[in-house]
Amino acid sequence: MNAFIWKLAIPIWKEVLLSTLLNVAITVCYLAQAMCLANLVIGLFFDTQATSNTSWAVLFLGATFIRIIVMALYELSALRTGRITKTRLHTQLIPKALSLHNHATGELVSTIVPGVNALESYYSRYIPAVGGALFGTALVLGVIVSFDWLSALILALCGIAIPIVDRVWLKVCRPEASQLIKAMGSFASAMLDSLQGITTLKSLNASDQRRSLLAEKAAILRQQAMIILYGTLMRNFATSFIGLGAMAFVIILGCFRFQNGEINVGALISLLFLVREVFRPIDKLDKTFHTAWAANSAAKPIYELLSQSDKNQPDNTPTKNSAGSLSPLHHDIVFSDVSFTWDQTQNGEPVLKDLNLSIKENEFVAIVGPSGAGKSTLSSLLMRFNTPQEGKITIGDIDLQSLTEPDTRALMSCVFQDTWLFHGSIEDNLRIAAPNVSLAAIHHAAKQANIHEFIMILPDGYQTQIGERGSTLSGGQKQRLAFARACLKNAPIFILDEATASLDAENESVIQASLKTFAGKKTLIVIAHRLSTIQQADRILVLDKGRLVESGSHNTLISKGGLYSSLFQQQSQANRDDAQLTQRTSQYASTNP
């Protein structure tokens, strides 16, 4: 058992202990039944006192009745232990998983779902079975010792041999089981990735290529599964051989010893009835054994998942005021000497380097720069999806590390280029941002995003189901819904990261007009490639290779003739080329009808 399994068991020790005691009690009932039957048979054949036989028969029935009740109580207790375990683990794991941004979804799902199930069975079934096997078997052996020490000794040795076989099996198979879980995760992740990207695969004619990759991963999974299956079969064979062999041997030996007068008929009959009870708890342990290795194998990735998110995420303990929640008095944003490196990328090169910048409350700031300059990384640090390794970010003079993640995000409304819409109605998707707002507020936000009229002509209006990931909507419609959702959140800081990239000119100008209504009321941070869209910003911050290289209004930066100016010239030239091309195409179309 590894340390992580113990650590997780601490809060549920009472439930596990109760299940274990009830499991031992079941063995005690079986033992009582066997002893009553043995005495009844001895009485029937060798004792003439009918009253004593009736007493054994009544005791047998009583033990049976109690066993039925204890078994039901054990089931209830095991189910309760399992439910509590599952709830606790899900409560810890799901928020952690939701806070991760660099993990393959399939891998997360395949770590959490079977991992939690394995741990649930471990605490609710395996540990009680271990207790039952240790104490229950010892009890039965203790009774057998009282009339036949030799049989008890042989049975004890064989009983000990079974867990030894299990240990050996675990030692051999545990690394293989970890490989199996890894192979499952890798296959599930590739499968989910392929299903989610099926349109892209088809459009690139890359389905065959992907199929080969999936087949390769499935083959590795099959190979790992077969290794485990083979190992498990060998183990089952060895344990059955020891258990059944020991019972047969002790009974045959007992018969011969009775024949030779070494034991009496009472001992032989008792042995016949009790020998099975030695192995019953061990059999039960055997049946739950697979959960032991599954839990042992699952504990490591779950532990890594928990500790990885702890490592990447900031300490969530805020310094709270007397009201219990920390809230900045103003919303000036300051980056001081911020450096950030993404794991395993850029060969350890920081994406942001000693970045210093400040954004005043209610200022409209645009962040521009060449691709890969670190613009989106900057917004991800502000949103606390990631934490800078050096330097600090403050809002209203409060270090973001002192705020809880929900408190930080309550300050911001964000629209990203990639919009995620959930399966459900349009209204459901909008209400995610603000569950309790009125319908009028929802309509107002949709109007700000220029999507209200489109929604109203749909047959079910705001109740229209939009399919998985908004599959029934166009890219621009999804983007406008995302904008409406962000408006609805009504946070003091509004971040748009390439949010208007998939909008046509008309929709973009409506969104620009909406943004203008925020002027002086909200802090606006707009990350954009299309420089024509951010010219009205109060200030443009130009990033290059993770550093702030220029800052100023559009006109100031153009007259400066630096990086912004050359980016702007390049885009203006590209726009002119596009316009000429469009003009020539329409001329050609009109002369060649």
Ligand X SMILES: Nc1ncnc2c1ncn2[C@@H]1O[C@H](COP(=O)(O)OP(=O)(O)OP(=O)(O)O)[C@@H](O)[C@H]1O
Helix, strand, coil percentages for the chain (3-state, nearest 5): 70, 10, 20
Instruction: Report the candidate in 191, 187, 183 with the shortest Cα–Cα distance to residue 227.
Output: 183
Shortest approach of ligand X to residue 344 CB, angstroms?
7
Q: What is the DSSP letter of 440?
A: H
Whole-angstrom distance, CA of residue 206 vs CA of residue 583: 36
The stretch among 172-180, 344-352, 475-483, 580-588 that binds ligand X (CB under 6 A) is 344-352
Whole-angstrom distance, CA of residue 99 vs CA of residue 6: 25
Shortest approach of ligand X to residue 300 CB, angstroms?
24
Determine which residue in the list 249, 342, 454, 518 makes contact with ligand X, applying CB under 6 A: 342
Determine which residue in the list 102, 319, 389, 532 makes contact with ligand X, applying CB under 6 A: 102
| Assigned token pair, 320 | 């709270």
Shortest approach of ligand X to residue 342 CB, angstroms?
3
Binding-site size for ligand X (CB under 6 A) equals 13
The stretch among 27-35, 110-118, 198-206, 370-378 that binds ligand X (CB under 6 A) is 370-378
Whole-angstrom distance, CA of residue 441 vs CA of residue 388: 36
What is the CB neighbour count within 10 angstroms for residue 206? 14
For residues 517-536, which are near ligand X according to CB under 6 A? none
The stretch among 63-71, 196-204, 345-353, 422-430 that binds ligand X (CB under 6 A) is 345-353
Tell which phi-psi region holds residue 324, choosing left (phi > 0), alpha (psi between -120 and 50) or beta.
left
| Assigned token pair, 574 | 């590209």
* Collapsed DSSP state (helix, strand, coil) of residue 84: helix
Query: Which amino acid makes up residue 466?
Result: I
Per-position x/- string for 208-247, each x denoting binding to ligand X as judged by CB under 6 A, each - no binding: ----------------------------------------
For residues 372-391, which are near ligand X according to CB under 6 A? 372-377
Shortest approach of ligand X to residue 349 CB, angstroms?
9
What is the CB neighbour count within 10 angstroms for residue 462? 19
Cβ-contact 125, 203 below 8 angstroms: no
Q: How far is CA 477 from CA 4, 431, 484, 512, 539, in A?
A: 47, 17, 10, 16, 29
Shortest approach of ligand X to residue 475 CB, angstroms?
17
Whole-angstrom distance, CA of residue 342 vs CA of residue 389: 10
Whole-angstrom distance, CA of residue 591 vs CA of residue 140: 102
Cβ-contact 415, 499 below 8 angstroms: yes
Nearer to ligand X, 81 or 380 (CB): 380
Shortest approach of ligand X to residue 380 CB, angstroms?
7
Query: Which amino acid makes up residue 24?
Result: V
Shortest approach of ligand X to residue 460 CB, angstroms?
36
Nearer to ligand X, 258 or 342 (CB): 342
Nearer to ligand X, 74 or 416 (CB): 416
Shortest approach of ligand X to residue 371 CB, angstroms?
3
Nearer to ligand X, 254 or 546 (CB): 546
Nearer to ligand X, 55 or 376 (CB): 376
Q: How far is CA 20 from the centre of its chain?
A: 29
Shortest approach of ligand X to residue 549 CB, angstroms?
13
What are φ and ψ of residue 525, in 5° steps?
-120, 115
Whole-angstrom distance, CA of residue 328 vs CA of residue 381: 18
Determine which residue in the list 54, 207, 325, 345 makes contact with ligand X, applying CB under 6 A: 345
The stretch among 181-189, 319-327, 342-350, 428-436 that binds ligand X (CB under 6 A) is 342-350
Cβ-contact 452, 441 below 8 angstroms: no
Shortest approach of ligand X to residue 436 CB, angstroms?
33
Q: Are strands 412-416 and 493-497 parallel, antiparallel or unpaired?
A: parallel
Nearer to ligand X, 376 or 514 (CB): 376
Shortest approach of ligand X to residue 379 CB, angstroms?
8
The stretch among 3-11, 228-236, 366-374, 503-511 that binds ligand X (CB under 6 A) is 366-374
Nearer to ligand X, 373 or 442 (CB): 373
Half-sphere exposure of 323 (CA within 13 A, CB side): 4
Nearer to ligand X, 179 or 500 (CB): 500
Determine which residue in the list 317, 371, 438, 590 makes contact with ligand X, applying CB under 6 A: 371
Nearer to ligand X, 29 or 351 (CB): 351
Contacts of residue 183, Cβ cutoff 8 Å, sequence gap at least 6:
217, 220, 221, 224
Determine which residue in the list 184, 299, 351, 365 makes contact with ligand X, applying CB under 6 A: 351
Shortest approach of ligand X to residue 341 CB, angstroms?
9
What are φ and ψ of residue 549, in 5° steps?
-105, -25
Nearer to ligand X, 331 or 375 (CB): 375
Q: Which residues are at the interface with ligand X (CB under 6 A)?
A: 102, 342, 345-346, 351, 369, 371-377
